[in-house]
Structure 1
Amino acid sequence: MYDVQSRREFLKSVAAMGVVYPVVSSMPLLADTPKNPNEKLNIAVVGVAARGAANLNGVKGENIVALCDIDSERLNGAAKEFPSAALYDDYRRIFDHDLDGVVCSTPDHMHAFVVCEALKRGLPVYCEKPLTHSISEARKILKLVDENNNITQMGNQIHSTNNYRRVVEQIQSGVIGDVRQVHVFLPAVEHFRAGKRVQESTPPDNVSYDLWLGPAPYRPFDVSHFHFDWRYWWDFGGGQIADFWCHYTDLAYWALDLKYPTRISAIGEKGHDGENEVPRHLQVEYDYPARGEKPPVKLTWSQGKFKPEGAEVMDKSHGVLFEGDKGRLWADYSNKQIVLQDGSEAVPVKPYIADSIGHHAEWLQAIRGNGTTASPFSYGAVLTEGGHLGNLSYRLGKEILWDAEAMKATNAPEADEIISRQYRKGWTLDV
């Protein structure tokens, strides 16, 4: 009997060495180790509808051994394509299986619990954006990734598009000069549903509601905060900035090498006569320090009725607008436009960032030891924190002076209870 590692430990060590496991027909292999780089990986998926369905589709070529969702109708629907997968409503049961990776697509308030459990076990993890529901959870994930060297990918899929790569190359190559101001702007979401705290009501028979609530404070079931609309309640999500920050502002963080801001100031208004907890209209100003020879950057997030100065010049309703010494560059997910101050045409930049093989494919191949992921948690956690800081300033109604190293709002000790949220009795996140 050969003394070999488990399937998961084998893959982890191969990936850490950055090598491709060769196909050698004469080499004796055991069933619990991959026979070649093309052997299917054992994947568990937590959350199987909406973004979960898209992520499941992204890994469906692997061996889907476990599916988990608190809604049995959604779970059974997804299971039709994967009849051999074990089905659960409790994410903790997926760890009964020998896994090569975990995909997490739950509402935000559950991300850290699924992710941290997988990371502590040394597993590769793919998780939807934003990576966490709070700042302290993002820091805990950073700690675990540093300790375990996990292969990770945050689900800001636009990061893998060619358009973003070309924009990053143009900004970093100085096409518009040094950038000191960035505007990120988008309209309010049209399907924003008003929600009120409701009286006791009975969850549908197909929903394991207590497991859905997880660590969040108890509130009676109501469709106003369930499935997609959980995004607009502080107990479960962070509103539109949490939903889109990691897509839009990713471009600025990537192109300008931004990390933690030092000052954050937010203003906003709730929609629907103030019935929603999160703001429908929000504007946040961020100050980022100089990075080496790169100048300080002021980034402004504007959503809803708030419009950034200068955006009308490009006649755009949404996107990312970089203001440089030599001109402006606007981009959205798939388009870009450059306007130079001297009226000349921008000089083309020879591409130097390799095109992605696909956001999910990067993660799957990295598990096999082929390449790396472009949006690992070491990047995604820092990016996610920026969005949370905007919400923190809004919720406190004051400017925040942020000490990133200490994870403290130095001028607002009352921020601590939001930075590290309280969990419902019976739920702890031990890291």
Structure 2
Amino acid sequence: MKRPTDSRRNFLKTSAVLSGGYWLGSSATARAASPNDKLNVACIGVGGRGSANVSGVDGENIVAMCDVDEVKAGKRFQEFDKARKFQDFRVMLDQMDKQIDAVVISTPDHTHFHPARQAMLMGKHVYCEKPLAHTVWEARELTKIAKKMNVATQLGNQRHANEGMARTVEAVRSGMIGDVTEVYCAIGGSRGMPEMPTEFPPVPSHLNWDLWQGPAQERPYSPEYCPYKWRFWWDYGTGETGNWGCHILDIPFWALQLKYPSRVDLDEVPGADQIDPHRTPKAMKTRLEFPAEQGHGALTLHWWHGSLGEVFKQHKTVPQKGSNTLFVGTKGTIDAGFDGYQVTLSDGGDPETPERTIPKSPGFHQEWIDACKGGPKSTCDFVDYTGPLAEAVLLANTAFRAGGGFDWDANAFKASGNDNVEQYLMSHFRKGWEVDPV
């Protein structure tokens, strides 16, 4: 596969001009902190979801904040008046290398990869919002770097700390519904396919549009892209699959110890009105095949942007409020959401409550903070868990965009059986943002 790369000399030369000194770093690990010490944290993206993540780490020392939108960031900029403020994360990391232990990234999907990559290569711990990256290649690169640099990482699957999620995992693993052969997961609604912009007003004075675009191909500013609808444009977002996939697929990935699929396909071929080179769809139905491994037999995982109503009816199950997942086993079904589950056994019996084996989380952000200070790995660590999870989410998008399925060799990072796939697996960075693979 062709990698999104330029020569290292050209990359460093261009980056130095853009950032005033872009350092790739080579330290083995971030500086260790004792449990009683406070981390020095830098936050990249502090409006919207970023504001909530600031709250998650504000018990530590927030020493720097970076945002390309002075209005969106204004409240947090004022509140943390002692933190240094930046628009360009590259300048921030370069100038404050010795003052930063850890970085929180809460930017749009297309700008996760570069700050996460640079921070980890500099030996910084990283908390990054889902879906980790914009393409499958980026997700794999970040997973490799996290392992190489031995830094503490956490993907923003905040619901992973819910007690209801843990109870569902225990129920599935108890064997009460036998061997799980299929799982259906979905997010409802029909968000996607925004209007094509027809007017391109001047860029607001409070927004650095060039930095907001980052590695994406340059285009004129439009409020149809920023500040929120970016999620539904392929250049910037990953649609409802990227928005919700890591949250919802977290349930079966955790319960069944899933890793990488061997096949990715479409449950329903999209209509011509949903295939668009620029905009994400209003609906999609995909499936991922997983070979038998520790924790599960061979199984099919269906990921839909759409309703599971017909699936619940087919399995004679009335879903509880908030259900987004249905486990189909040889002895019954479990439907689940973020806050718990219900069981329907094939023999009509009453299931026994499984033993509690999963300890209560100290708090999702606290897990990561503790890991940064030498404690146990966080539950949504890139290397051991959420790297493969994010890849699965992005592979589903890839099959949709490629118009059909493909076999997936995760070890070789190779797709076969569909010539359209490679262009959607890889990243295509604009000039000045190219990188070399690790």
- TM norm structure 1: 0.88
Aligned 1:190-205 pairs, distance under 5 A: 192=192, 194-198=194-198, 200-205=200-205
CA RMSD of aligned residues (A): 2.2
1:295 is aligned to 2:297: yes
Partner of 1:314: 317
Q: How many residues align?
A: 402
Q: How does 1:192-341 map to 2 (within 5 A)?
A: 192=192, 194-198=194-198, 200-266=200-266, 267-268=269-270, 277-292=279-294, 294-304=296-306, 307=309, 309-310=311-312, 313-316=316-319, 318-341=323-346
Question: 1:79 aligns to what SS in structure 2?
Answer: helix
Q: What is the identity, as a one-letter code, of the residue corresponding to 1:65? A: V
Q: Secondary structure at the match of 2:302?
A: strand
User: Deviations 1:323-364 (Å, cap 9, x if unpaired)?
Assistant: 111111011111311111111111111111111001100011
Alignment partners' CA distance in 2, 1:293 and 1:165 = 16
Corresponding residue of 1:351: 356
**Equivalent residue letter for 1:81:** E
**Residue 269 of structure 1, CA deviation:** 5.0
Structure 1 gap ranges (5+):
1-8, 15-33
* DSSP 3-state at the match of 2:219: coil
The answer to whether 1:169 aligns with 2:167 is no
Match for 2:398: what amino acid?
L
For the 8 Å contact 1:270–1:280, the answer to whether it is kept is no
- SS, match of residue 420 in structure 2: helix
**CA shift at 1:13, angstroms?**
6.4
Contact 2:29 2:124 (C-alpha < 8 Å) held by counterparts: no
Unaligned runs of 5+ in 2: 1-26
- Return the offset for 1:83: 0.8
Secondary structure at 2:289's aligned position in 1?
A: strand
Match of 1:89 in 2: 87
AA at the equivalent of 1:80: Q
Amino acid in structure 1 at the alignment position of 2:431: K
TM-score (norm 2): 0.87
Amino acid at match of 2:301: L
The answer (yes or no) to whether the contact 1:270–1:281 under 8 Å persists in 2 is no
**Which is further off, 259-268 or 279-288?**
259-268
User: AA paired with 2:208?
Assistant: S
Q: How much does 1:220 deviate? A: 1.1
Per-residue CA deviations over 1:21-74 (Å, capped at 9, x if unaligned) read xxxxxxxxxxxxx6x523321100000111101101100111111111110112
1:423 aligns with 2:429: yes
What is residue 384 of structure 1 aligned with on the other side? 390
- 2:67 is aligned to 69
Matched, 1:148 2:149: yes
Q: CA deviation at 1:182?
A: 0.2
**Do the aligned partners of residues 240 and 268 (structure 1) sit closer, same or farther apart at CA in structure 2, a change above 3 Å counting?**
farther
